[in-house]
Structure 1
Amino acid sequence: MAGPELQVPHLDRIIGELQQTAGRISGEQTERLADRILRSRHIFVAGAGRSGLMMRAFAMRLMQMGFQAYVVGETVTPGMTRDDLLLIGSGSGETKSLVSMAAKAKSLGAALAAVTITPDSTIGQLSGDVVTLPGAPKDRTGEAYVTVQPMGSLYEQTLLLFLDALVLRLMEKQGLDSQAMYGRHANLE
């Protein structure tokens, strides 16, 4: 006879934190970002560290929806023009390499958007569209949001879930379903 199933330590707390953060994301900001993406010829995404991984996952879904989406820094990423969008995921909004990238995109006349904890950051101020995600910055200075998780984990998880929700909104706006997206799924695996 099997005993009671063991719970995964801390998982309930993490899920609870994610439910709290999800309830604090602006639908209006999300809608503006979705519309900006739909108006863009190419969508470039960037982020550093784990945030960068979340942005890469988003680029994959955009590609599967038929968007011309690129991860900045990849060898197959084309040049940016004024009809394009650079979307940066950065909790602090102050990562030096991303700040430089944001400034360059602006100098090219491209649209710039950010998904960040700190809309008043350098990247946030440069961006035409900003989605503010609740979370604890990695350095935890001036922290107003308490989390059991280390460093930027809460932001990074919220970023991934937010971007997945944004994918669903873009699918709705384009009349797409998952079946239509499978035609663009990688097939050399």
Structure 2
Amino acid sequence: MTTLKYATEIVKEVDRTIGQITEEDSERLVDRILEARKVFVAGAGRSGFMAKSFVMRLMHMGLDAYVVGETVTPSLQEDDILIIASGSGETKSLVSMAEKAKSIDATVAVVTISPESTIGRLSDVAIKIPAKPKAGADSDYKTIQPMGSLFEQTLLLYFDATILRIMSKKGLESGVMYGRHANLE
């Protein structure tokens, strides 16, 4: 198969996956983000990169948003939301964050393959991205891609779609957001 044929198949896989995400849970996540005083986002590995891109767009909208673990990230408080991106929902460091957030009575949300996971059970909102787990487990979800690529690609598009929904609810246009774009590049 050629590179472009692989790309075409990847797009088909992502399209099938996005089509299975629950709209009601997505709306609950959007509402919780808009209700929160501050938004904290965490993820490990490639999922973490997708999470960082989400925080950037939240900041462009004027929301008080942070990547967990950065030196300028403030403390999480009761009126805040922690959004975790984790395919397995079992990454130890992310489980610890979810447990800490729950102990503070902050809202916890997860975007995951496994809403029945430890982080999923701790979460107030769980978005299921139906994709093949990274390693080992059998799955009904087939992909030509290695490891967690389908989850990570869908995660990026899902987060971008979430941004569009928040923009719609806030009546924001891209031009306003561009005014908050980095200018020391």
Could you say which TM-score interval applies, normalised by the shorter chain? over 0.9
Query: Normalising by structure 2, what TM-score?
Result: 0.97
Q: CA deviation at 1:134?
A: 1.0
**Superposed CA offset, 1:92-122 (max 9, x none):** 0000000001000111111100000100000
Residue 50 (structure 1) aligned to one of 46, 49, 54: 46
The yes-or-no answer on 1:36 pairing with 2:32 is yes
Q: CA deviation at 1:78?
A: 0.2
The one-letter code matched in structure 2 to 1:60 is M
Residue 60 (structure 2) aligned to one of 57, 64, 87: 64
3-state SS of the aligned residue for 1:115? strand
Counterpart CA distance in 2 for 1:7 and 1:161 is 21
Q: CA deviation at 1:139?
A: 1.1
The one-letter code matched in structure 2 to 1:66 is G
The one-letter code matched in structure 2 to 1:114 is V
- Residue equivalent to 2:10: 14
RMSD of equivalent CA atoms: 1.0
Report runs of 4+ in structure 1 exceeding 3 Å deviation: none
**Superposed CA offset, 1:40-65 (max 9, x none):** 00000000000000000000000000
3-state SS of the aligned residue for 2:98? helix
Counterpart CA distance in 2 for 1:7 and 1:112 is 39
Q: CA deviation at 1:9?
A: 4.2
The one-letter code matched in structure 1 to 2:102 is K
- Residue equivalent to 1:23: 19
Q: CA deviation at 1:7?
A: 5.9
| Structure 1: unaligned runs, 5 residues or longer | 1-5
Q: Once the two structures are aligned, what percentage of the paired residues are identical?
A: 59
Aligned length in residues: 184
Counterpart CA distance in 2 for 1:153 and 1:7 is 16
Counterpart CA distance in 2 for 1:24 and 1:9 is 23
